[in-house]
Amino acid sequence: MSYSANEQRYQQMQYRRCGKSGIQLSALSLGLWHNFGDVDDEAVYRKTLHTAFDCGITHFDLANNYGPPPGSAEINFGKILKNDFAAYRDELIISSKAGYYMWPGPYGEWGSKKNLVASLNHSLKRMQLDYVDIFYHHRPDPNTPLEETMTALDLIVRQGKALYVGISNYKSEDAAKAFAILKELGTPCLIHQPKYSMFERWVEKDGLLNVLEANGVGCIPFSPLAQGLLTNKYLKGIPEGSRATKGVFLKQEQITEEVLTKVRALNDIATTRNQSLAQMALAWLLKDERVTSVLIGASSSAQLLDSVACLNNLAFTNDELSKIETILG
């Protein structure tokens, strides 16, 4: 079955400028952290990718270690890209990252030039691409000089293997230093990818959003639904087969009665807004103009469509925001 994209795809999506760059991103981007590995159903994730693009989502975000097993998300995405999206490559923003553990030995993770250059070469082969649109350093490296890591990102752009570069998980102080180095090298940072949600708000305390704005850098939060906590999944407790039961990124002990009380109270506000809790949580991030796009995951096309519906109501009253702050406490 060949794929032909929805001709109305750009009518239903909102696009936002990424910092002070020439790039605009869809307000929602699709992350392939989960659901696109060899353990997943190809027919399901293929349909999810089609649905995303049909809705006007132009940005697909990967990393070298996404799977499981690590690397399989890039391989699987690469096959679908070649078979279904080849005609649309210039309409897509494809990103990858390196920095977390990928192969044994001292060069298989962190932020050395050796690791970043090798990792991107592997990613390009896996995805059958000549270049990615954005290449990120996935996490700060306490043992490699920042200059080396940023020089590696600059080199990758000059080699034509990435058009833009970004960083992820950097606190504001190190992010500002990274931006200054990249600017001096002539490859300004396009975007920062922090963990940010109603339940994870370090970026506000850290002043990161102000630093991004001052440097003309975009922001794309990941884990906007706090690994599923900010959905209707946990309203009645911990369901069988949920991420919490697997205990990898969301542990059962994190889901206390106090947390569930907050989730239920937030859900009540979402209901008055004619939104699901997940839709409200996405809209809550997008209310800040400094947020360029929000990275969503999706285990099915139906789940993806539910997330996209958040765009129908992005405005919050002062009363709603005040109630949300009281709940989050």
User: How is the chain split into domains, by residue range?
Assistant: 15-227+286-314
* Nearest residue to 190 via CA among 181, 198, 200, 182: 182
120 contacts 74 by C-beta, under 8 angstroms: no
Query: What 3-state DSSP class applies to 288?
Result: coil
How many Cα atoms sit within 13 Å of 132 on the Cβ side? 32
C-beta separation of 24 from 14 below 8 A: no
pLDDT at 90: 98
| Gap between the Cα atoms of 313 and 329, Å rounded | 24
Check if the beta carbon of residue 269 is closer than 8 Å to that of residue 280.
yes
Q: What is the DSSP letter of 222?
A: B
Amino acid 241: pLDDT: 61
What is the Cβ-side half-sphere exposure of residue 290, based on CA atoms within 13 angstroms?
17
Nearest-5° angle of CA 16, CA 77, CA 241? 90
Token code pair at residue 213? 């704005």
Tens of pLDDT, residue by residue, the chain (329 residues): 789 999 999 999 999 999 999 999 999 999 999 999 999 999 999 999 999 999 999 999 999 999 999 999 999 999 999 999 999 999 999 999 999 999 999 999 999 999 999 999 999 999 999 999 999 999 999 999 999 999 999 999 999 999 999 999 999 999 999 999 999 999 999 999 999 999 999 999 999 999 999 999 999 999 999 988 999 887 876 666 665 555 555 666 767 888 899 999 999 999 999 999 999 999 999 999 999 999 999 999 999 999 999 999 999 999 999 999 999 98
DSSP states along 126-173: HHT-S-EEEEEE-S--TTS-HHHHHHHHHHHHHTTSEEEEEEES--HH
Predicted confidence at residue 22, as pLDDT, reads 98
| Angle at 52 (CA atoms; ends 201, 189), nearest 5 degrees | 50
Residue labelled with tokens 């960083």: 167
Compute how many other C-beta atoms are within 10 angstroms of the C-beta atom of residue 277: 24
pLDDT of residue 247: 58
Cα-Cα-Cα-Cα torsion 215, 99, 169, 195, nearest 10 degrees, comes to 130
Can you tell me the distance from the alpha carbon of 298 to that of 304, in angstroms, rounded to the nearest whole number? 5
Give the DSSP per-residue string, 180-218: HHHHHHT--EEEEE-B-BTTB-HHHHHTHHHHHHHHT-E
CATH superfamily of 15-227+286-314: NADP-dependent oxidoreductase domain (3.20.20.100)
Please state the pTM of the whole predicted model: 0.95
Name the DSSP letter for residue 93.
E
CA distance 127 to 326: 45
The distance of Cα 55 from the centroid of its chain, to the nearest Å, equals 17
**Bridge pairing between strands 24-26 and 15-17:** antiparallel
Q: Which tokens go with 9?
A: 């795809």
Which residue has 């911990």 as its token pair?
238
197 close to 221: Cβ distance less than 8 angstroms: yes
The pair of structure tokens assigned to 26 is 């869809």
